[in-house]
Structure 1
Amino acid sequence: MSFEWINTTLGDFLNLKRGYDLPKTKRKDGDVPIISSSGYSGVHDKSMAKGPGVVTGRYGTIGEVFYIPEDFWPLNTTLYVEDFKGNSPLFSYYLLQTIDFHAYSDKAAVPGINRNHVHMASVRVPNSIIAQEKIASILKKLEDKITSNKKINHTLEQMAQALFKSWFVDFEPVKAKIAILEAGGSQEDATLAAMTAISGKDAGSLAVFEHVYPEKYAELRSIAELFPSAMQVIESVKIPESWNLVPLSSIALFASGKIDVSELTKDTYISTENMLVNKMGIECATSLPSASTTPSFKPEHILISNIRPYFKKIWLARFLGGRSADVLAFEHKKNITAEYLYNVLYQDSFFDFMMQTSKGVKMPRGDKKAIMEWSCIEPTVELVSLFSNKVKEFYSYIESHNKENTQLSRLRDTLLPKLLSGEITLPEAEEIAKEADYV
């Protein structure tokens, strides 16, 4: 492919425009995404910009760049590409990621940038839209794989939570047994009902399952037999008989310990900034603390951001590292597994409790004493162990995908400036991206 690199200004390559006001009181239900300086911010019934579009923060949150495939409404806190001037929208999205928007900030308490100033930024770009689209397609391939891994991880998390909820929140196997016994059925019938609740198979399917997979059928039966067939009331709460309602302090403790910052990398340091909202795990830190030591964490510790609990930041640690003081590390006690404790703390009800008992208004922080008083279910040791064994594989896959995404993100971030500067050729980049399929 023959093309040339040209040195120009951002304003000569594309035209940015300020977004539009849209008060929340005037928003109407629709399918048009509203984009703020921090990204997706709801929907509206009308659009102000045609897709595909590229948006970046103008005021408040700056530096993030968003690619919007459909028509959208850019808010007043953003700048969006009004005119690509015949250039590739997807390439423009990656190009804007190389701009240091903070260099064009007014340095005010709430940072803001001026469109005309950003237009003066120097850029180096291919003079061929075919080359632009080829470069963009290589980078997008990596991003698509990262996105796919994240979706798989989200599904695996949901599968683990669904099992946890069925067994330890809704008590479905227990309630299935009770329903049969109250209807005059036998204990054998109750066990079969619990097997149905656990497996999702009806009586006919279970009969076939027993014939084809006798060992797995026997295992399913043994699991069903571990669930009680009656409920009890403890402190006005109905839970399965022989299980306990306990404060969190009975099954977990706050981990202690320190680690030298010199032993850490950006990959092994966890702060509230690099924990992701809505239970999406972690990303690489942008910096390390200036102190010589920092609190540590170990594999199987559950890390939760103690600042603004409503962001629901949680991660099951898979390696040794360091954390900021605002990241709590929970350690499971004897007879309770890391996987069980993680799913206990993963519940929305726990984060709601953290908020209800938090201290502070503008920057609420969880109250450590109150947190340990939160009531939770303690089943039998056998059931906790069974649950852990069933979901442990899920978390192994999640960690594998996370490691792959770290590698892919580094590769993308390495390729981006090199491709846009012409330091490496398109054939070289294609070969590198191809090898990434096997990372």
Structure 2
Amino acid sequence: MRLGDLLNLKRGYDLPENQRRPGPYPVISSAGVTGYHDEYMVEGQGVVTGRYGTLGEMYYVNGKYWPHNTALYVTTFKGNDPKYIYYLLSCLGRIHTSDKSAVPGVNRNELHEMAVPAITEKDQQKKIAAILSALDAKIDCNNRINAELEAMAKALYDYWFVQFDFPDVHGKPYKSSGGKMVYNATLKREIPEDWESGRLEQYISLERGVTYGKEDVCTSSSSGAIGILRATNVTGNVVDAGDLVYVPSSRVSSAQTLTKFSTLIVMSSGSKEHVGKNGIYFFDEPLGYGAFCSKITPHANARYFVNTFLQSFWFKAYIKNQCLGTNINNLTNGHINKCPVILAKEEILCFFEDAVKAHYEKMAVNAVENQQLAQLRDWLLPLLMNGQVTVS
């Protein structure tokens, strides 16, 4: 059918950041939710996608929202199930930009004329959407569980290594129970009297990534191929193991592979906000990584301490102050290694590792499950949309 017989697309509405006011309604642009506002332009179920470059990522919303002018949104679903339309559009792949404009953009009129496979029976649409939605819901549930587990680990880290209320010899909170504190000039704050400050290099090993050229790239099915992670694989506080470039494993040394519970940190980017962004790698399969990143491998007795510290406000503020340059911001391994850090007593460090180990192991299980669920969803999606697989 013509795509225009299933839905109607329209450009969103302009809303500069300086005109946004705090409110409950999401502003959805080509990059997804980019803020909130106290007014909305559309209500009900909605589907939004980017207006420039290519028809790419799709965003589904169920409620009132403001579609930004960098995006196209569905104004009417013409009697079709909105969630089915969302998955149908997600399946269309990258549609080439229009060459009829000086500014490359997706032409909604051209999109309306596209021929697409379509299932018109509303009941069948709902069944297809329900299956795919169930997979997405489980992925979202795992993400929320991981966010809670991460918050619990961070809260304990703050309690012990920022407020210094770790258990003393009597099992009482150290500082609150009158434990002696002394001023540390390096950290510019008081710390327990028998603790010291040091450098992050005392807890980690660090390896910078290397550059892989076009001549190195091979297919994922090539014998001995290994995936290469990029700065864009750092999403949130974790490393996403999808959308990889592949090179022959002979090009990647063991030192240049990321292993479970290592951290990938962005070392160079055109955006100052992206430099220093880091995430934990939760997967068993070793992967390589590119030149814009470094691998941080915590010592075995400080694995979770380091991973939690790297997400702390203190570390992020330190990295922000280290960014160099104007157009391209860079970090060196020296910036990371020389980062000041508290040197906790060994027994307290061990207690912390034992206390949060189960949290991080559960986060790893959920991350692996999410990867498998996403692969299943992405495999099923085109088969359901073109009728190769049906739902009884």
Equivalent of 1:35 in 16, 23, 28: 28
CA deviation vs aligned residue, 1:72-117 (integer Å, no higher than 9, x gap): 1111100000111111111110011012343245499975211112
- The aligned counterpart of 2:181 is 231
Change (3 A) 1:196 1:229: closer
CA deviation vs aligned residue, 1:282-334 (integer Å, no higher than 9, x gap): 24124325896243233342221223463433114543221112221112347
Given residue 273 of structure 1, which amino acid in structure 2 is its aligned partner? Answer: T
- The aligned counterpart of 2:343 is 378
- The aligned counterpart of 1:224 is none
Equivalent of 1:134 in 118, 127, 131: 127
Identity %: 34
Distance in 2, Cα, partners of 1:113 & 1:151 = 34
1:244 counterpart = 2:196: yes
Q: What runs of 5+ residues in structure 2 fail to find an aligned partner?
A: 218-222
Equivalent of 2:262 in 301, 315, 318: 301
- The aligned counterpart of 2:237 is 279
- The aligned counterpart of 1:166 is 159
Number of positions where the alignment pairs a residue of Structure 1 with one of Structure 2: 373
Change (3 A) 1:111 1:375: farther
User: Any residues of structure 2 matched to 1:16-415 within 5 Å, and which?
Assistant: 16-59=9-52, 62-106=55-99, 111-173=104-166, 191=170, 193-194=172-173, 229-235=179-185, 236-255=188-207, 263-266=224-227, 269-276=228-235, 278-288=236-246, 293-294=251-252, 295-308=256-269, 310-311=273-274, 312-319=277-284, 320-333=286-299, 336-415=301-380
Distance in 2, Cα, partners of 1:290 & 1:76 = 43
Contact 2:165 2:174 in 1 (8 A): no
SS in 2 for 1:33: strand
Change (3 A) 1:316 1:363: same
Contact 2:97 2:106 in 1 (8 A): yes
CA deviation vs aligned residue, 1:13-56 (integer Å, no higher than 9, x gap): 11100111112222222211111110001111221112211000
- The aligned counterpart of 1:416 is 381
Distance in 2, Cα, partners of 1:358 & 1:256 = 17
Distance in 1, Cα, partners of 2:246 & 2:101 = 25
Instruction: Give the TM-score of the pair, scaled to structure 1.
Output: 0.78
Contact 1:257 1:296 in 2 (8 A): no
Q: In angstroms, what is the RMSD of aligned CA positions? A: 2.9
Given residue 152 of structure 1, which amino acid in structure 2 is its aligned partner? Answer: I
Change (3 A) 1:143 1:257: closer
Q: What runs of 5+ residues in structure 1 fail to find an aligned partner?
A: 1-7, 178-189, 198-226, 428-439
Instruction: Give the TM-score of the pair, scaled to structure 2.
Output: 0.86
SS in 1 for 2:59: strand
CA deviation vs aligned residue, 1:330-384 (integer Å, no higher than 9, x gap): 12347x4211111121212212221211123343222322222211111011111
Distance in 2, Cα, partners of 1:367 & 1:71 = 45
Greater relative contact order structure (CA < 8 Å, 6+ sep): 2
Contact 1:228 1:242 in 2 (8 A): no
CA shift for structure 1 position 129? 1.2
